[in-house]
Amino acid sequence: MESLMPISRIVGVVPSSWGQESMELTLAALQATCAEAVSPEVVIIGNEEVEARMNLAARSGISRVWQVETPEDIDADEPDAMATLAGEALAQVACAEASSLILTPPGPEGEELAARLAHGLGGHCLGRCLKVRLEDDRIVAERSVWGGRKLISLEVSGGVAVACVRAGKPMLTESADPVDVRKIRVDARAPAAPVLATESSGESLPPVESSKLVISGGRGLNEEGFSMLEQLARSSGGTLGGSLPAVDAGLVPVVRQVGISGKFVSPELYFAVGISGTPQHMAGISPDTRILAINKDPEAPIFSMAEAGVVGEWQELLPEVLGILHDRE
Amino acid sequence: MNILVVLAGVADNRYPLHQVALDSEGNLHETGQTRRILGPFDEGALELALKLRDKSDAISVHVLVLGGANEEQLARSVAAFKPDSLRILHLRPCRPWDSSMTAAQIGAFVRDDETQPDLVFIGREFGDLDEGSIPVMLATELQLPLFSLAQYAEWQGDQVRLMREKGTRREWLSCSGTYLATVTNDRRNKLRHPLMKNVMMAKRLSIETVTQNTDEPGSVRSRELAEPRAAKRQGQCRMIDGSVQEQAAAIVDYLRKAAG
Ligand SMILES: Cc1cc2nc3c(=O)[nH]c(=O)nc-3n(C[C@H](O)[C@H](O)[C@H](O)COP(=O)(O)OP(=O)(O)OC[C@H]3O[C@@H](n4cnc5c(N)ncnc54)[C@H](O)[C@@H]3O)c2cc1C
Ligand SMILES: Nc1ncnc2c1ncn2[C@@H]1O[C@H](COP(=O)(O)O)[C@@H](O)[C@H]1O
Phi and psi at B41, nearest 5°, equal -85, -30
Q: Whose CA is nearest to atom 21 of ligand 2?
A: B40
Backbone phi, psi, residue B257, to 5°: -65, -40
- Smallest Cα–Cα separation from A22: which of A83, A110, A84, A81? A110
Q: What is the pLDDT of residue B234?
A: 64
User: Residue A255's pLDDT is what?
Assistant: 96
For chain A, the structural domain boundaries read: 9-185, 208-328
* Ligand 1 atom having least distance to the Cα of B123: 1
**Inter-chain contact A304–B235, Cβ cutoff 8 Å?**
yes
Per CB-CB distance under 8 Å, the chain A contacts of B258 are 212-213, 238, 267-269, 290
Which of A229, A251, A278, A304 has most ligand 1 atoms within 8 Å of its beta carbon, as the pocket-test mutant? A278
The C-alpha atoms of residue B142 and residue B145 are separated, in whole angstroms, by 9
**A232 and B231: CB-CB below 8 Å?**
no
Interface pTM (ipTM) of the complex? Answer: 0.91
Q: How far is A211 from chain B (nearest CA, A)?
A: 9
Give percent of chain B with pLDDT exceeding 70.
Answer: 98
Mean pLDDT of B71-91: 98
Check CB contact under 8 Å for B247 and A115: no
Q: How far is the CA of A246 from the centre of ligand 1 (A)?
A: 8
CATH of A9-185, one of 1.10.287.90, 3.40.50.720, 3.20.10.10, 3.40.50.620: 3.40.50.620
Q: Which residues contact A245 (CB under 8 A, 6 or more apart)?
A: A218, A219
Q: How far apart are CA A152 and CA B227, in angstroms?
A: 9
Burial class, B20, CB count within 10 angstroms (exposed 0-12 / middle 13-18 / buried 19+): buried
Q: Which residues contact B123 (CB under 8 A, 6 or more apart)?
A: B7, B8, B39, B40, B41, B42, B44, B45, B135, B182, B183, B184
- Please tell me whether residue A153 adopts helix, strand or coil conformation: strand
Nearest residue, CB atoms, B228 vs list A140, A149, A204: A149
Instruction: Please state, in angstroms and rounded to a whole number, the distance separating the CA atoms of residues B119 and A143.
Output: 31
Pairwise CA distance, residues A308 & A292, whole Å = 5
- Tell me the per-residue pLDDT of A85-121, one tens digit each, with 9 for 90 and over: 999 999 888 776 778 999 999 999 999 999 999 999 9
- Using CB atoms, which residue from B99, B132, B260 is nearest to A212? B260
A79 lines ligand 1 (CB under 6 A): no
**A156 within 8 A of A126, measured Cβ to Cβ:** yes
pLDDT at A193 (0 to 100):
78
Q: Tens of pLDDT along A304-314? A: 999 999 999 99
B125 lines ligand 2 (CB under 6 A): no
Residue B136 and residue A115: Cβ atoms within 8 Å? yes
Pocket test for ligand 1, best of A281, A297, A320 (most atoms within 8 A of CB): A281
Establish, for the pair of chains A and B, how many residue pairs have beta carbons separated by less than 8 Å: 264
pLDDT tens, position by position, A226-237: 999 999 999 999
Domain assignments of chain B as residue spans, ordered by start: 2-229
d(CA A315, CA B242): 17
Which position has the higher pLDDT, A74 or A251? A251
Give the residue from B80, B70, B71, B61 showing the smallest Cα distance to B203.
Answer: B80
Q: Residue B102: enclosing H or E segment and its boundaries?
A: helix B99-112
CA-to-CA dists, residue A124 to A26, A150, A155, angstroms: 19, 22, 10
pLDDT for position B232: 67
Our answer on whether the CB atom of A219 is closer than 6 Å to any ligand 1 atom is yes
Nearest ligand, CA A252: 1
| B128/A146 Cβ within 8 A | yes
B/e letters for B180-211, b = 16+ CB within 10 Å, e = fewer, are bbbbbbbbebebeebeeeeeeebeeeeeeeee
User: What's B186's DSSP letter?
Assistant: -
The reported pLDDT for the residue numbered A203 is 87
Minimal C-alpha gap between B115 and chain A (Å): 26
Half-sphere exposure for B89 (CA within 13 Å, toward CB): 25
Per the DSSP assignment, residues forming a β-bridge with A43 are A13, A66
Which of B43, B124, B164, B168 is best to mutate for the A interface (most A CBs within 10 A)?
A: B168
Cis, peptide link before residue A105, omega less than 30° from 0: no
Inter-residue contact B140 to B104 (CB < 8 Å): no
- Please say if the pLDDT value at position A1 is more than 50: no
- Chain A, nearest residue to B173 by Cα: A196
Q: Which fold has domain A208-328?
A: Rossmann fold (3.40.50)
Nearest CA to A103 out of A164, A38, A167 is that of: A164
Q: pLDDT-derived band of residue B49, with 50, 70 and 90 as boundaries?
A: very high
- Whole-number Å distance between alpha carbons of A95 and B59: 46
Helix, coil or strand: residue A265? strand
- Rounded Cα gap, residues B32 and B10, in angstroms: 15
Q: Which residues contact A320 (CB under 8 A, 6 or more apart)?
A: B244, B245, B247, B248
More confident: A20 or A6: A20
Q: How far apart are CA B10 and CA B8, in angstroms?
A: 7
- Given a contact cutoff of 8 angstroms between Cβ atoms, the answer to whether B173 and B147 are in contact is yes
Can you state the angle between helices B244-259 and A223-236, rounded to 10 degrees? 50
- Tens of pLDDT along A25-71? 999 999 999 777 788 999 999 988 988 999 999 999 998 999 998 87
Please answer whether residues A34 and A10 qualify as being in contact, where contact means their C-beta atoms are separated by less than 8 angstroms: yes
- The class level of CATH for B2-229 reads alpha beta
Q: Give the closest of A194, A253, A321 to B251, CB-based.
A: A321
Chain B residues with beta carbon closer than 8 angstroms to that of A315: none
- Rounded Cα distance between A90 and B58, Å, is 45
Q: Is the pLDDT of residue A299 over 70?
A: yes
Tell me what the pLDDT averaged over chain B comes to.
Answer: 95
